[in-house]
Amino acid sequence: MSKTNTIKTIELFAGVGGFHLGLAGKKSVNYGDYEIVWSNQWEPSTKKQHASEVYQKCFPDTQHSNNDIAKVIEEDFAQIPDHDLLVGGFPCQDYSVARTLSKADGLSGKKGVLWWSIHDIISKKGKAAPSFLMLENVDRLLKSPAKQRGRDFAIMLSSLNDLGYIVEWRVINAAEYGMPQRRRRVYIMAYKKGTDIYKKIKTLKDPTKWLTVDGVMNKAFPMGLDKVVETPFVIKGDLADISENHIDYNPKKSPFNTVGIMIDDKVYSSKGIPMIDETIGRKTLGDVLVDDSEVPDEFYLKGDMDKWEYMKGSKKEERTTSAGYTYCYSEGSMVFPDALNNASRTIVTGEGGTTASRFKHVVKTKKGLRRLTPVELERLNMFPDNHTNKVGCTDAKRAFFMGNALVVGIVEGLGKALRDEIGK
């Protein structure tokens, strides 16, 4: 049974529940204000559904679906309850839209592209569409695809505008706000026509004030703008126009900078300069380390030091592709071992396992050089210790979950700011 007076939330592409922890985890400042009324997680590439199992173990009271979201929408839409807020971290894919041959069918988005599942839920809900959205993605979304920089984001913004939302976004690097990992992601929030937030933004003479003073995202993660946005640019036409040629896409530069807002068809965007509060204290990689006595032997680098040094080092060498084409490959060196007095580098999905790799973190402790344990990776994302240790997954799998997840403190901050704004 759902409680009263909570912000009813559904969590899509839930993974192991980063949004859930930030909005409704027992240690979150938002605990009790948000209620996750439905969640969905399905991994297409494996038979075993480990992430979904972890999710259900950690949040046994949350209604959960472990099925392809596109199928749920098509075959059993009624199971998705009405909700106030829709959240999810979805993949950056090709969002282009084609005009269908039959006029009656209108426009069609590419099959298997998960953005369209979010879009379909909102549009199928009709009058009961959620008042708010909170989404997360890699910052590359703002610049994709390479040949038409910004096209995909233009399609996303424009389709949300068509559904009646004002949309704001900002690229947030968790470490710049004191969190233990340098993880840059774009967070997107949208406010539906009819909500107080929507009305408030519409009455602003200078909408960029929302971005740098009054806005929900700015309250949580304050930023100034590199340049004053004097005139917005306009996204016009239907989605197929935008897909094909509407914006004069510059192959080098996307029109979407790291902070922005779209109101009706107008986009105000500029580079955000984080306003950093130095009094908050900064968490470092060193802060998350467990005692050496708790670290199993296999995490220590053994016999293959040459390989590690080669992978981490700078190189300039001739390589040949499988098609026989020879080219010069070069890359700089990585800090090796990783500095303990800074926030960590970004965790990637390949972080686990014993083989030498350029991207895996290596720390130097009293006992020697070693990789990070799953608990340390969880701490870098601000997850509770052993969150992913409940269904018998390998360490590599647990590392994979953390490479896919998000820094919980970001969602917590955004959730608090949204709740405070709604509560006004």
Ligand X SMILES: C[S@@+](CC[C@H](N)C(=O)[O-])C[C@H]1O[C@@H](n2cnc3c(N)ncnc32)[C@H](O)[C@@H]1O
Active site residues: 92
Instruction: Confirm or reject binding of residue 404 to ligand X (CB under 6 A).
Output: yes
User: Residue 336 and residue 49: Cα distance in Å, rounded?
Assistant: 35
| Residue among 10, 116, 24, 1 nearest 416 (CA) | 24
Of 242 and 408, CB closest to ligand X: 408
Task: Tell me how far apart the alpha carbons of residues 257 and 268 are, in angstroms, rounded to a whole number.
Answer: 9
Among residues 9, 30, 39, 41, which is the contact residue for ligand X, using CB under 6 A? Answer: 41
Question: Which residue reads 């749920």 in tokens?
Answer: 72
Please pick, from the candidates 33, 83, 84, 89, the single residue that binds ligand X as defined by CB under 6 A.
89
Position 406 contacts ligand X (CB under 6 A): yes
Minimal distance, residue 40 CB to ligand X, in Å: 5
How does DSSP classify residue 343? P
Report which residue type is found at 163.
L
Per CB under 6 A, does 16 bind ligand X?
A: yes
Choice from 10, 141, 197, 405 touching ligand X (CB under 6 A): 405
Residue with smaller CB distance to ligand X, 28 or 270: 28
Residue indicated by tokens 């090709």: 94
Instruction: Give the binding-site size for ligand X (rule: CB under 6 A).
Output: 21
Among 63, 68, 176, 178, binds ligand X (CB under 6 A): 68
Residue 235's alpha-carbon distances to 148, 162, 164, 257, 286, in angstroms, are 15, 11, 15, 15, 46
Least separation in angstroms between residue 142's CB and ligand X is: 17
Q: Is 69 an interacting residue with respect to ligand X (CB under 6 A)?
A: yes
CB 226 within 8 A of CB 272: yes
Query: What are the structure tokens assigned to 348, written together?
Result: 């990637």
| Nearest CB to ligand X, comparing residues 41 and 357 | 41
Task: Rank residues 46 and 322 by Cβ distance to ligand X and give the closer one.
Answer: 46
Q: What is the DSSP letter of 2?
A: P
Structure-token pair, residue 52: 């979904």
Give the integer Cα–Cα distance in Å for 56 and 11: 13
Of residues 41 and 96, the one with the C-beta less far from ligand X: 41
18 near ligand X, judged by CB under 6 A: yes
Least distance in Å: CB of 233 to ligand X?
A: 29
When asked if residue 241 is in the footprint of ligand X (CB under 6 A), the reply is: no
Q: Which of 29, 42, 164, 419 is in the footprint of ligand X by CB under 6 A?
A: 42
Q: By CB under 6 A, is residue 109 in contact with ligand X?
A: no
- Output DSSP code: residue 164: T
C-beta closer to ligand X: residue 88 or 215: 88
Residue with the two structure tokens 């929507």: 198
> How far, rounded to the nearest angstrom, does the alpha carbon of residue 379 sit from its chain's CA centroid?
17
Which of 64, 82, 65 minimizes the C-alpha distance to 9?
A: 82
Residue nearest to ligand X (CB): 15
| Interface contacts to ligand X, rule CB under 6 A | 13-19, 40-44, 51, 68-70, 89, 114, 404-406
